Amino acid sequence: TNSLTTAWRLFKNLSEEQQRYEKQLIFEHPAFVKLCQQLLRDARRMMRGDLVFSLHALVNLGVPQNTLLVQTLVRVCQEKLNQLDNRCISVLATTLAGMDKDKNVSALQAGLQLLVEQRISSIRDIFILQNLMKCLGKDAPVFLKKKLEMAVVREIDGLTFLNALRMFLALAAMNYCSLPILNPCSKKIQENVHDVPFRQLILILEACHTLQYRNVKLFSALADYVISTAYLWDKRQIILFLSACETLGFQPTELLDIFAEKVIEDPDFLNLKNLLIVLRVYSRLNHVPRVQKHLFFETLHSCLNKCLPQISNTELLKAVYSLGILGYLPHHALDELLQKDSKDELILPDDLKEQNTVMLRCVKTCMELDSPSFTKPTFVLTENLSSLVSLNLRKAQEALIELLGDENMFRQNVRLPYRYHIDFEISMDSDRKKVLPIDATDDHPDSRVQRLAFLFAPASAFCLGTTHPQGKLAMKKRHLKKLGYHVILIQNKMFQEMKNEDAVEFLKRKIYAEDAFSFPEAIVQDNN
C-alpha cells in the first residue's frame, strides 16, 4: 500500500505528457506486476485502510477498471464496508466518484450511501463531510443532502478559510444551494479575500452560478480584490473573471473601465476567442466605458476587422450583434455579414437557426434605428395585441386604473414596428401635466403629445443588485426613445412586493415627476 500510494503521489504532480510516459514504465516494470499479484492474493487479509488506499492508488494510476485486481478490491471493500472508519469512507467515496458505473461499483456505491446515512451524525471532520458531498454528488437523494447540510451547519463555527473555499465546490458538486452554509462561507471569504488564489476566484463564481446563489457583497469583494491587484494579473485572467461575472449578471463597473483602458493600450492580445468574450461581456452587461468610449469601440472594431479572414459565420454574427446591442455599427464587418446573408450563407442547422434569426433581425433593426440619418417619426403605427394582461401585470393594470380613473386613459399589450412590445402606453400633453385619453390621441396624431412606454421587466433583465438594464433591455429602451417614446423601466419583482397604495403612488411619481423624461444614456454614435 505504501509503495502504491507513494507512486500515485509522485505520479499526480507530473505533466500530462510525463504521466503517459511514466505510466507505461510503471505498468511494464516487473516489480509492479509482482506487487499486483501479491495484492490480489492478500486482498481479503488486508487492513481496512490498506485496502481502501490501495484501490484509490490503483484507480488513479490508471489500472483498467475491468481487471481482476480492481474488481476483486471493489468486492472486498463491499464485504468489509461496515468495518470502514470515517476516513476510509471518505477515500472510498472519492475513488468511486472517479470510476465508471458497473455492477460491482454501483452495488458498492449504494452500500456506501446507506452507510453514510447511518454514520453522518457521528462525523465531525468538516473535510470528510466536504469530500462526501462532492463524491455523492447531485444524484444523492434530497434527504441525504439535507442530513449532510445539518452535519456541516453543526460544525460551521469552526470553519477555516480554506474549508469555506472548498465548501462552495462541494455544494456545487451536489447542486444543493444551502444558505445556512453559503452565507457564513461567503463572509469568511470576504474577510480573507486577499488569500484567494486566482483559480479559486473563478471556481467560486462558477459554483455560485451552478447553485443560483446571488450574493452582491461577495461578488463585489472579489471584484475589488481583482481591481486592487489588477497590475499582477494577466489580461487573459481578467477576461476569465469578467466572463464569470457576466454569467452571473454582475457588473463590476470599475474593473470593466480598467480593462477597457488595457484594451486601448494594448489590443494585440485580443485573439478571436478573447475578442468574442469581451464583446459578449460588455454587451450583455450594457457597459460603456466612462472615458474614451469611442476609442474603446473603435479598437474593438479594428480587432474584429483583423479577425475577419478567419472568423466563422456564426462568430461574425455574434460579434456584430454584440456591438449592435451597444449602439455601435461596425461597418466593414456589417457589410461582410450582409453579403453572406444575401447569399444565404448564414443558414444553419435547426438547433442554431432560431437564435441566429433573432440576432440577424436585431442587427438589421440597429442598422436602421441607430443610424445617424434616422429621424424620429411623427406617428408610429401601433397595434393592441389583447385587452387581457398576464397575471404578473395585473397589479400594474389595477394601479393605473385607480390612478387615472379609466381604462381608456392607457393602452396595454401594445405592439410596435420592429417587433417591439410595450406593456402599457400613456399619452400626456406637452407640459406633462395631464394624461390624455388614448382615443383622442389616436384620432389626431400630434407631435407635441408625449408618449410614455412602461416596461415591467424581470429582475434577470437588470444587472445584479441594480436597476441598470442589461444589454437587450437597454437596446429596446434606446430604440423606443428613437421612436418617440419616453421609456419608464420598472423591475416587476420590486413592484409586485409593494402594497397597493404604494404601487399607485410609485406610478404617480413616475408619470408626473419633472425628471420622468430625462434618462441619460451612454449611446455610441456611429462614425458616419
Cα–Cα distance for residue pair 510/428, rounded to 1 Å: 13
Domain boundary among 79, 106, 122: 122
471: Cβ contacts below 8 Å, ≥ 6 apart: 283, 284, 285, 286, 322, 325, 326
User: Residue 425 belongs to what H/E stretch?
Assistant: strand 421-428
Chain center to CA of 135: 24
Q: List the chain pLDDT tens, one digit each, 528 residues.
A: 899 999 999 998 899 899 999 999 999 999 999 999 999 999 999 999 999 999 999 999 999 999 999 999 999 999 999 999 999 999 999 999 889 989 999 999 999 999 999 999 889 899 999 999 988 888 889 999 999 999 999 988 888 999 999 999 999 999 999 999 999 999 999 999 998 899 999 999 999 999 999 999 999 999 999 999 988 899 999 999 999 999 999 999 999 999 999 999 999 999 999 999 999 999 999 999 988 899 999 999 999 999 999 999 889 999 999 999 999 999 999 999 988 877 776 666 666 678 888 999 999 999 999 988 888 776 777 777 666 778 889 999 999 999 998 888 999 989 999 999 999 999 988 777 888 888 766 655 666 788 999 999 999 999 999 999 999 999 999 999 999 899 999 999 999 999 999 999 999 999 987 554 443 333 343 333
Query: Does residue 140 form part of some domain?
Result: no
Query: Does residue 437 form part of some domain?
Result: yes
Query: Does residue 472 form part of some domain?
Result: yes
Instruction: Give the DSSP per-residue string, 379-420.
Output: ----EE--S---GGGHHHHHHHHHHHSSGGG-EEEEE-GGG-
Contact criterion met (CB below 8 Å) for 452 and 426: yes
Query: Does residue 231 form part of some domain?
Result: no
Domain boundary among 90, 122, 154: 122
Checking 262-271 for CB contacts under 8 A at 24+ apart, the result is 262/235, 262/238, 263/296, 263/299, 263/300, 264/292, 264/295, 264/296, 264/299, 266/235, 267/299, 267/302, 267/303, 269/235, 269/236, 270/300, 270/303, 271/307
Cα–Cα distance for residue pair 388/390, rounded to 1 Å: 7
| Helix, strand, coil fractions of the chain, as percent rounded to 5 | 65, 5, 25
Query: Does residue 519 form part of some domain?
Result: no
Residue 440 main-chain phi, psi, to 5 deg: -65, -40
DSSP 490: E
Query: Does residue 415 form part of some domain?
Result: yes
Cα–Cα distance for residue pair 263/286, rounded to 1 Å: 17
Task: Supply the range of the domain harboring residue 7.
Answer: 1-122
Query: Does residue 365 form part of some domain?
Result: no
Residue with cell 463491499: 78
Q: Structurally, how many domains does the chain consist of? A: 2
Its pTM stands at 0.86
Domain boundary among 99, 122, 145: 122
